[in-house]
Amino acid sequence: MARLKEFDEDKALDSAVDCFWEHGYEATSVRDLASAMGICSASFYNAYGDKRALFAVALERYANRSMRERIARIEARHPPKQRIAAFFDEIVEKSVKDSDCKGCMLVNSALDIGPHDAEIGTLVSGYLSEIRAFFKRSLEAARGVGDLPRRLDAEATADHFLGVLVGIRVLARTKIGRSTERRRVLMAVAQPALTILAQRRAR
């Protein structure tokens, strides 16, 4: 039987998330994680088993505190048609302020780990599917109240928005100039997709 955890698990997991996010899965050692989490190696193995198991827990923690929090907040504050624009505005601003160019942990994992680890790849795909589902239900709701044309394909458009999002998050990891230039470039990537939201149902 595993012994009771003798540390602040929420704080430790947040530190693990930050460690994985900054250095990437492969470059992060168990020693790095234990040090960042403020626990000894024995406590690490007792609580989480191994690095891979902790990474899965860290991905869930990251999804809860970033992607899921953002979607829930935006859905609560904005009508359907404006949710997607608000989502992209926030992503661009977050990317512009990311001076370390860490990008998105989910997208980073999809690119760096997913192709080589089927289980982690499936986990990441599930999280990205949640974002796609947010786009799809926002589009369907906007279409339902007459703010978008009936002919709009919500499935295909949600796929398109997800692709644009991934592109923005990858591009944000590169050093593309000062904050004003970064904002301009990232908004230029998002804007053609967002013109879809300018459509209205014919009266």
pLDDT score at 182:
85
- What pLDDT is recorded for position 177? 67
pLDDT tens string 98-123: 888 899 999 999 999 988 899 999 99
DSSP string, 118-182: HHHHHHHHHHHHHHHHHHHHHHHHHHHTTSS-TT--HHHHHHHHHHHHHHHHHHTTS--SSHHHH
Alpha-carbon distance of 55 to 18, in angstroms, equals: 11
Integer-rounded Cα Rg, in Å, for the chain is 19
What pTM, to 2 d.p., does this model score? 0.90
Q: What is the pLDDT of residue 153?
A: 96
Q: pLDDT of 58-96, one tens digit each?
A: 999 999 999 999 999 999 999 999 999 999 999 999 999
CA atoms of 176 and 185, how far apart (whole Å)? 8
- pLDDT score of 201: 62
Q: Can you tell me the distance from the alpha carbon of 15 to that of 1, in angstroms, rounded to the nearest whole number?
A: 26
Work out the widest C-alpha separation in the chain, in whole angstroms: 67
CATH 1.10.357.10 is right for the domain spanning 64-198: yes
Tens-digit pLDDT profile for residues 4-59: 456 688 899 999 999 999 999 999 999 999 999 999 888 888 889 999 999 999 99
**CA angle (96, 100, 104) in 5-degree steps:** 70
Residue 117's φ and ψ, nearest 5 degrees, are -140, 100
The CB-side HSE value for 15 (13 A sphere, CA atoms) comes to: 16
Structure tokens at 198: 């300018």
Residue among 91, 83, 95, 104 nearest 148 (CA): 83
Q: Which residue has the tokens 């926002």?
A: 138
- Specify the DSSP element, H or E, that contains 6: none
For residue 140, give the amino acid letter: E
pLDDT of residue 3 exceeding 60: no
Is the per-residue pLDDT at 1 higher than 60? no
End-to-end CA separation in angstroms for the chain: 66
How high is the pLDDT of residue 189?
94
Query: pLDDT value at position 166?
Result: 96
Q: How far apart are CA 167 and CA 151, in angstroms?
A: 26
Write the pLDDT tens digit of every residue in 137-148: 999 999 999 999
Per-domain residue ranges of the chain: 64-198
Q: Mind listing the pLDDT tens digit for each residue in 161-193?
A: 999 999 999 998 887 767 788 889 999 999 999
Res. 2: pLDDT tops 60: no
Q: Is the pLDDT of residue 127 over 60?
A: yes
